[in-house]
Chains A and B, each alone.
Chain A
Amino acid sequence: MRRFELAEPQTLEEACALLNDDGDAKALAGGTALLTLIKHGIFIPKTLVNLKKIGGMSGIDYDRQRGLRIGALTSIYDVESSPLVCQYYPWLAEACHLVANIRIRNMATIGGNLAHGDYQSDPPTALVALDASVDLTRGTGTRQIKLSEFLLGSYETALQPGELLSALVVPPPDSWRGTYIKFTTGSSEERPCAGIAALLRMEQGICRDLRLVVGAVSPRPVRMHHAEEFARGKEISEAVLQTIGAEASRVVDPIDDLRGSASYKRQLVGVLVRRALAAVIH
């Protein structure tokens, strides 16, 4: 692989200082995205700041009032296999389980997945539906912003120079029931062509609340606010499913890429949204 300097700080403060002092330095977590870019010659590194020797940046906590807190260096496999995540947020466990293959999930970190900002990802879609936030730190002081505001576009995030993502915070699951479905046009372990997260709150057969997010088709996960509003107070009949699917299909602005043309993805979104909602209801 191309040569680079490697800094191996022991603390978050040190890591932020290194990144702040050297504008060419880049953080390295699981390396699954960054080393691939380096190998392909897309990113030419000078100094990498290895985060993996920093203590206390991984692990999962759950509190009924505050919800879930996941350290940025937690591997995607540790998220999907956490009993807390499986019990309270099964659709998040599923979105993590559907990432890549077992080797990548053992190496890749959840913080790296979000900070990379690749639109063809699974966890961000489920996390935006859950209204998750991220903690960003410069070593001293931390700011918390909504994930939906952190993800700005394809490979673009709200991270400032010298800033690191330290943790992911997910509100309590309350009475949501949900699902995440991934659709691939290549082999089963491929990146998503489309991903749908649907969370539903039902009371006596009536939809009290809906969160519907379409991921991987446009530069960032998109919440279907109109469809959500339309569903509230209604029984989710076949006709309502059709309307919501059509609305989602109309609203998305898909990117043409290797995994499908824009018109194919638009069609697909309508079908997948109906499937996702039907799966939650039944």
Chain B
Amino acid sequence: MKINISTTLNDRTLEVSVYPNQTLLEFLRDDLCLKGSVEGCGVGVCGSCTVLVDNRPVSSCLMLATDAAGKRITTIEGLGRNGALDPVQEAFLKHQAFQCGYCTPGMIMAVKGLLLNNPHPTESQARDYLSGNLCRCGTYVEVLAAVQELAGR
């Protein structure tokens, strides 16, 4: 039996019904066709499914969709405004902070979470906060350069 919930997704209020065993990631991808958040490990280790819940990063692969009720969810699709990229996206482009791009939506959401929590992180704070977002191409140096630019603003 499906459960009715009301949630705010990328600034829009939604009334939807979800399955008890559906993760937030499955709901975003399969029901809403928002394919930006991707599954890597499925068990909270890699970070490629990172989304923000009330401005805090979580692993959407380990969160039940029903727990989105009453919460504010932000996904990579919700970052740009009126066709313009978010400053975090701009900084990633400028510093080429990606290679294959699989981890990138999650990495950008984690950086967004970091800056919302701490607008001017030091490099060691950024390393600590982002340590659980894995990039198998090894673009960490470029990601940190993007963060340092954003932190200096």
Contacts and interface: CB of A to CB of B under 8 A. Distances in A.
Given A4-B20, A31-B63, A102 B129 contact: yes
Interface string A21-53: 000000010011001100110000000101011
Max chain B CB contacts within 10 Å: which of A6, A35, A188? A35
A236 interface: no
A5 interface: yes
Contacts, number: 79
B88 interface: no
Contact of B44 (A3, A4, A5, A103): A103
B23 interface: yes
A2 B21 CA distance: 7
B132 interface: yes
B20 A101 contact: no
Contact of A101 (B22, B26, B42, B132): B132
A8 B113 contact: no
B99 interface: no
Given A1-B21, A4-B20, A5-B20, A100 B44 contact: yes
Contact of B57 (A35, A39, A100, A102): A102
Given A6-B3, A189-B131, A32 B62 contact: yes
Nearest to A7: B20
Interface in B94-133: 110, 113, 129, 131-133
Interface in B1-36: 3, 20-23, 26
B24 to A, nearest CB: 11
Nearest to A97: B128
Given A36-B62, A39-B43, A103 B50 contact: yes
B149 interface: no
Contacts of B3: 6, 8
A43 B112 CA distance: 34
A31 B62 CA distance: 7
B136 to A, nearest CB: 13
A106 B56 contact: yes
Interface string A105-120: 0110000000000000
16 contacts: A1-B21, A1-B23, A2-B21, A3-B20, A4-B21, A6-B21, A6-B64, A32-B44, A35-B23, A101-B44, A101-B131, A103-B59, A104-B44, A104-B59, A107-B62, A107-B63
Interface of A: 1-6, 8, 28, 31-32, 35-36, 39-40, 48, 50, 52-53, 77, 100-104, 106-107, 187-189
Given A5-B20, A35-B62, A50-B66, 10 more contacts: A6-B20, A52-B67, A100-B132, A101-B45, A101-B133, A102-B57, A102-B110, A103-B132, A188-B131, A189-B132
